[in-house]
Chains A and B, each alone.
Chain A
Amino acid sequence: DSGVTQTPKHLITATGQRVTLRCSPRSGDLSVYWYQQSLDQGLQFLIQYYNGEERAKGNILERFSAQQFPDLHSELNLSSLELGDSALYFCASSVDFGTGNYEQYFGPGTRLTVT
């Protein structure tokens, strides 16, 4: 158990719909990262938040957005869903005090199926 929690575990929805994925980081971790992993694909970095502020942005579509709340939990919003958005979505957290030395702890993931 990494200490990172993600809900829901599974999500099935239809094309065109909007969903929200939730992540609670490990206690004390300030950074939250979101990744997408499609079948047989590597991890694609989407976005990072640090203490409530967006820190880095990767290959995140405009239909996707995220935020980190004052209690440090984060939500990833996916809208106008397409079949190709079906994937495992992972959240990770790290302490990230800016030393350049980091270790990410990954949650169990949310499996999104768009039909």
Chain B
Amino acid sequence: LAKTTQPISMDSYEGQEVNITCSHNNIATNDYITWYQQFPSQGPRFIIQGYKTKVTNEVASLFIPADRKSSTLSLPRVSLSDTAVYYCLVGGRGGSQGNLIFGKGTKLSVKP
């Protein structure tokens, strides 16, 4: 059961690149790494998912080193609307996610 560790909070300014790192030392071979974004009083929204190396979509990039014991979510040129809580989730083994742990996430505050 892979547990994740992320910073509790981060501050940034509009237009900057933000990198949020997640540690998952006991990640299993079949586990994927997934990041979600949550605004107050709304359900989390999928951002990006990866297994190894680098994944990029229109919203973010996900960097995963070879040992997969950590991952970094990169948000390019953040805006005020990116202020939210970001969760790192590890799991997805063969159809049984087991006991899914979202943790408390990283609260990102973007300032003008």
Task: Give min CB distance, A86 to chain B, whole Å.
Answer: 14
Given the contacts A92-B43, A109-B41, A109-B42, A58 and B100 also touching, CB distance less than 8 Å:
yes
The residues of A that contact B34 with a CB separation of less than 8 Å are 102-103
Instruction: State the Cβ distance, A52 to closest chain B Cβ, in Å.
Output: 14
CB-nearest residue of chain B relative to A58? B99
- Please indicate the chain A residues that have their CB under 8 angstroms from the CB of B38 in the complex: 43
B96 on the A face (CB < 8 A): yes
**Stretch of B9-17, B44-52, B75-83 with 4 or more beta carbons under 8 angstroms from chain A:** B44-52
> How far does the alpha carbon of A4 sit from the alpha carbon of B100 in the complex, in Å?
19
Verify A48–B41 contact, CB threshold 8 A: no
- B residues at A contact (CB < 8 Å): 30-32, 34, 36, 38, 41-46, 49, 51, 87, 91-105
Chain A residues within an 8 Å CB radius of B31 = 100
Contacts of B46 in A (CB 8 A): 103-105
Interface string of A43-79 (1 = CB under 8 A from B): 1110010100001111000000000000000000000
Alpha-carbon separation in the docked complex, A94 to B98 (Å) = 14
Residues of A within 8 A of B103 (CB): 42
Does the CB pair A42–B105 fall under 8 Å? yes
Q: Is the CB–CB distance between A106 and B43 below 8 Å?
A: yes
A46 to chain B, nearest CB (A): 10
Q: Which residues of B contact A44 (CB under 8 A)?
A: 102
Chosen A-B contacts, 11 in total, with CB atoms closer than 8 Å, are A42-B87, A42-B102, A42-B105, A45-B100, A50-B95, A55-B95, A58-B99, A98-B95, A100-B30, A106-B44, A107-B43
Contact between chains at B32 and A101 (CB < 8 Å)? yes
Choose among B32, B42, B43, B101 the residue with the greatest number of A CB atoms under 10 Å from its CB. Answer: B43
| Alpha-carbon distance A92/B34, docked complex (angstroms) | 15
Beyond the given pairs A50-B95, A104-B44, A108-B43, 20 more chain A to chain B contacts, judged by CB atoms under 8 angstroms and listed by A's residue number, are A2-B43, A41-B104, A42-B87, A42-B104, A42-B105, A43-B87, A45-B100, A55-B97, A56-B98, A58-B99, A88-B41, A90-B43, A90-B44, A96-B95, A98-B94, A102-B91, A103-B34, A106-B43, A106-B44, A109-B43
